[in-house]
Amino acid sequence: MSAPSLDKPAKPSGVRRTKPGPDGLVWTVLRLHRSAMWVWIGYVAVSLGLLLWLWGPGSSETQAAFDKLGYSGAQDNAWHGALSAFLPFLGSSFDALFYDPLTLARIAACVIAVFAAGPLISRELEQGTAQLAWTQSVSPARWLAAKLYVPAALITVGTTLVVILYRLVWDGRNHLLVAGIGPRDFDFSVGPATVANALFGLAIGVLAALVLRRTLPAAALAGVVTYLVGAFRSNSWPLQGSYQQPEIPVHSKAITSTGAEIRDPGCMTQRCLDQHDITGFTRHYLPSPDFWPRQLTETGILLGLTALAVVAAFLVLRRFQPEPPVTPLTKETAA
């Protein structure tokens, strides 16, 4: 019998290498809900694309009107899109389209809650796939954790990207917006609290699903609760609100041929501009001292509610824990 050669490495027996990637539960959640994942990616892509367009070509017409007549020109351009005040997404002016991503973000929070309550949790409980997973060496707590942190990661990344780009567009193009409730509502709405609001929708949807264990009732309850929280945000201090926001300070001036800044006379004709010796305009909203106190307060409250909902979900999940098997009493065990 010949000895094994030392020159050739021995082949591994029974060992199969796998490529690095998500663990089993993460991959299962992504694969099971890949349609919802692609819908979310599509929503983020559409929002980012719309914001990039508003930052570039979408603001060119309004910018030209502003360069010609100042704030009066931006107002005149915005009035052509007045229909969007009642029917969102139908306006054609920069002022009309600027707020559409904010509307989408508010709708997305309710959709997240409905998805979490329905397809993510309740449907698996109704169909028994969750119970099947629990018999495959996956504990209910670990199963729920995966159901939470996988969509939470996607929601956090996507919403954060939308918020960051939205604030950049605001900083560079807010001089083209008509003053009033719109800029105030936006400025006090979009920030860290936007991300926290989406995560709250996820948590409340999961909790509703575990409590009711029926797809339609859980989805309806989660959607309504998320909507009501959004409505409370819009009308109550310390959360930013549509009726309680202070005015945002704005620097709006006309520039003469000598470079001096004067009050914008509101000219609508070239003759008026010539009479006032106006050659240009400058306008931008100044940072509000109320922004960060309101955003941080609202973010803290929403994250606190989210944490309470997650803790409550795990407490409710304890009733699904399998009971330990009962060992029959024998003479040996009795002895």
Q: For residue 72, is pLDDT > 60?
A: yes
pLDDT for the residue 14: 45
Please give the average per-residue pLDDT across 241-261, as a whole number: 82
Average pLDDT, whole number, for the chain? Answer: 85
Output the pTM of the full model: 0.84
More confidently predicted of 254 and 17? 254
Summarize pLDDT for 320-332 with one digit per residue, the tens: 665 555 555 555 5
User: Which pLDDT score is estimated for 118?
Assistant: 92
Query: What is residue 80's three-state secondary structure?
Result: coil
The share of the chain scoring above pLDDT 70, in percent, equals 81
The larger pLDDT score, comparing residue 129 to residue 300, is at 300
Crossing angle, helix 215-235 and helix 100-115, to 10 degrees?
Answer: 140
**pLDDT for the residue numbered 134:** 81
Provide mean pLDDT across the span 195-222: 95
- For 122-177, what is each residue's pLDDT tens digit? 988 888 888 887 887 788 888 999 999 999 999 999 999 999 999 999 999 999 99
DSSP letters, 170-237, are HHHHGGGSPSSHHHHHHHTTSSHHHHHHHHHHHHHHHHHHHHH--HHHHHHHHHHHHHHHHHHHHH-T
Single-letter amino acid code for the residue at 229: V
Q: Average pLDDT, stretch 180-187?
A: 88
Who has greater pLDDT, 134 or 97? 97
pLDDT of residue 333: 52
Structure confidence at residue 252 (pLDDT): 92
| Whole-angstrom distance, CA of residue 225 vs CA of residue 242 | 19
pLDDT for position 83: 52
Q: Which of 129-138, 153-162, 236-245, 296-305 reaches the highest mean pLDDT? A: 153-162
pLDDT at 279 over 80: yes
- Check whether 19 has a pLDDT greater than 50: no
Residue 87: pLDDT above 80? no
Q: Which two structure tokens, joined as six digits, stand for 268?
A: 């609508």
pLDDT reading at 214 higher than 70: yes
Residue range 34-43: mean pLDDT, rounded: 96
Residue-level pLDDT at 63: 94
Q: How far from 281 is each of 4, 65, 222, 256, 310, CA to CA, in Å?
A: 87, 11, 48, 9, 51
Q: Which residue has the higher pLDDT, 288 or 207?
A: 207
- Residue 145 pLDDT: 93
* CA–CA separation, 150 and 218 (whole Å): 20
Instruction: Note the pLDDT of residue 41.
Output: 97
pLDDT of residue 20: 40
Q: What is the mean pLDDT of residues 20-33?
A: 75
pLDDT at 21: 42
